A and B are shown apart, each in its own frame.
Chain A
């Protein structure tokens, strides 16, 4: 039981750290496209790890299946939204910040 608990908290911590990193990246990175990286990649990984950690602590089937479904839906919607956004921005003529300007 304790092994499961330790594993669960390790996963949760990893997820929380990833989520925080993603948010920091969103805050710090220079332009929209780089921020998309920070938001979407760490977001889906962070959320999945955190939910996996919670899953290990789930007491009943009802809780577990809901956590799995949430994870599944987030894994589908989050990257899709980021992809569609980046594509729409590119179509709209939003220019990526390149070269020296990116290294503020």
Chain B
């Protein structure tokens, strides 16, 4: 059994290493960006093999849906070829990298053996709490969701705040469109794929409702299977990205207007923090969902997780769509 996993692990790692070296070697930045997409696909496969299904889910949605698109969008706005890297840059970098590697390998000798059930992590009382007691305390089968939204809810609030801040910062940098550059459909580059890509447009139209529906399913099914607000937000945004790519920025902005998105971006964060304030007012600690339903704490936990995950989903989706609009909008102007 463990032998199987080693073989699969090593095969995946070989693919990852080849892709990473390919990124280092190629001078065409388009190729490098696409290889990075491939790299993240393989990483997600590795996460599945290592039991981290929720992480794989997030990586799948982010790596395939958003990250590649943002890199390609940037390249479309800038240069897509790289200069030849001179040896004066290569040699010191190689030395530092190899030195770091040696130090890391040396440090890894002190790490506990891989996947050993006797590891300190597995023996820690917190593991017992998460995997056993959480069923009585929270009653959500997906422990990752329980830890994310409830036990470590305060941490997650901080993460959502970071996403919000990054979204605002990108909007400040790339700003809104000036004048009439909003991209009437058909004008490259902000326009859609016209004429020649009829098949693509029909299939994209067919796929769109499924992507959005699937995002909602992921949002609300996160208690029972892999999924939750982060994944759902990114998948929803990916659906809108597909629509924008195929039908043009003008059409997309008419359907999902930036004004609404700019309201939703802080709204999700406020919803999250608002749940915390509500629990404070009801006499509990900040983000202590038991206070939401004192007679039946598990019910309170369920309500709290639902609201908090909704907040996460709203902010992440709004942030991702706004990020993409910002890059696509720059293309329309220049």
A103 partner residues in chain B, CB cutoff 8 A? none
Q: Is the beta-carbon distance between B203 and A80 smaller than 8 angstroms?
A: yes
Nearest residue, chain A, Cβ from B203 = A80
The interface size bin for chain A is: under 10
| B47 CB to nearest chain A CB (Å) | 18
- A73 and B200 within 8 A (CB): no
Q: How far is the CB of A55 from chain B (nearest CB, A)?
A: 19
Query: Interface majority SS on B: helix, strand, loop or mixed?
Result: helix
The secondary-structure label for the interface of chain A is: helix
CB of A18, distance to nearest CB on chain B (Å)? 20
Q: Are B197 and A76 in contact (CB under 8 A)?
A: no
Instruction: Give how many A-B residue pairs fall within 8 Å (CB-CB).
Output: 19
Q: Could you tell me the distance in whole angstroms from the C-beta of B143 to the nearest C-beta in chain A?
A: 20
B interface, size bucket: under 10
* Distance to closest chain A CB from B18 (angstroms): 14
Distance, CA A80 to CA B203, complexed state (A): 7
Chain A 76-96, CB-CB to B under 8 Å as 1, else 0, gives 110010011001100100000
Q: How far, in Å, is B163 (CB) from chain A's closest CB? A: 28
Residue of B196, B197, B199, B210 touching A73 (CB-CB under 8 A): B210
Q: Is the CB of B199 within 8 A of A76?
A: no
B residues sitting closer than 8 Å to A (CB atoms) are 196-197, 199-200, 203, 206-207, 210
| Minimum-distance CB pairs A-B, first 10 | A80-B203, A84-B200, A83-B199, A76-B203, A84-B197, A80-B199, A80-B200, A87-B196, A91-B196, A76-B206
